[in-house]
Amino acid sequence: MRHRVAGRRLSRTSEHRLAMRRNLVASLFEHETISTTIEKAKEVKAFAEKLITLAKKGTLSARRRAIAMLGNRDIISLEDGKAVRRGTIIGKLFSEIGPRYLDRPGGYTRIIRLSLRRLGDNGRLVLLQLIGQDEGLKEHAKTAAKKRSREKTEEIVEAEEVVEAEEVDETDSQPNETSQEQ
């Protein structure tokens, strides 16, 4: 029986699964989007969200727990053929990613299914992404669009009132002209 046995084995030993999960989450935090199989993404998603919740707390004990769970590898980028250290994964998690989600109660990642399949084993590929500033931009765009449409309707109403006022003025002036002609 499988009572209280959670998680997928992914055809790996427990040490390999732990190392893979740590590497995928570290890459997710570094690049903010990764491409992987759907099974791996579903396993990594919960682990990443727990770490982001720790980062939202921002305390020293939370930072130490995150280091124990994830490790603290460096973020390296290549510039002019030389490796340059840009910081650490935990540093980015606690300084950039955690504060970004302070007002969000959960759901920091999303899985987007791709139509692609891996060539070797025909595995289903997905994008695992952190929900970022683009969500805020979409909400801002929606509110801006509503504001613009509200302003346009106000302008239309004002224009109609002006046209009606001009028509009333014309009808008032026309009878006076006819009475003057008589």
User: What's the pTM?
Assistant: 0.72
Q: How confident is the model at residue 108 (pLDDT cuts 50, 70, 90)?
A: very high
In a domain, 1, yes or no: no
Paired tokens of 75: 């973020």
In a domain, 7, yes or no: no
Domain check: are 149 and 74 in the same one?
no
Rg, Å, the chain Cα set:
30
In a domain, 2, yes or no: no
Domain check: are 22 and 67 in the same one?
yes
pLDDT tens for residues 33-70?
999 999 999 999 999 999 999 999 999 999 999 999 99
Domain check: are 18 and 71 in the same one?
yes
Domain check: are 88 and 164 in the same one?
no
pLDDT tens for residues 143-177?
666 666 677 677 777 777 777 777 767 666 665 55
Domain check: are 24 and 109 in the same one?
yes
Domain check: are 31 and 61 in the same one?
yes
**DSSP three-state, residue 69:** helix
Q: Roughly what angle, to the nearest 10 degrees, separates helices 60-70 and 14-31?
A: 120
Domain check: are 55 and 75 in the same one?
yes
Domain check: are 105 and 181 in the same one?
no
Give the Å distances, CA to CA, from 27 to 11, 40, 48, 54, 171: 21, 13, 11, 18, 74
Structural domain range at position 156? 132-182
Q: Count CB atoms within 10 A of the CB of residue 63.
A: 19
In a domain, 5, yes or no: no
State how many domains the chain has: 2
Paired tokens of 87: 């910081």
Domain check: are 48 and 97 in the same one?
yes
Domain check: are 137 and 60 in the same one?
no
Residue 79 sits at φ, ψ, to 5 deg, of -135, 120
In angstroms, the first-to-last Cα distance of the chain is 106
Strand duo 33-37 + 109-117: pairing: unpaired
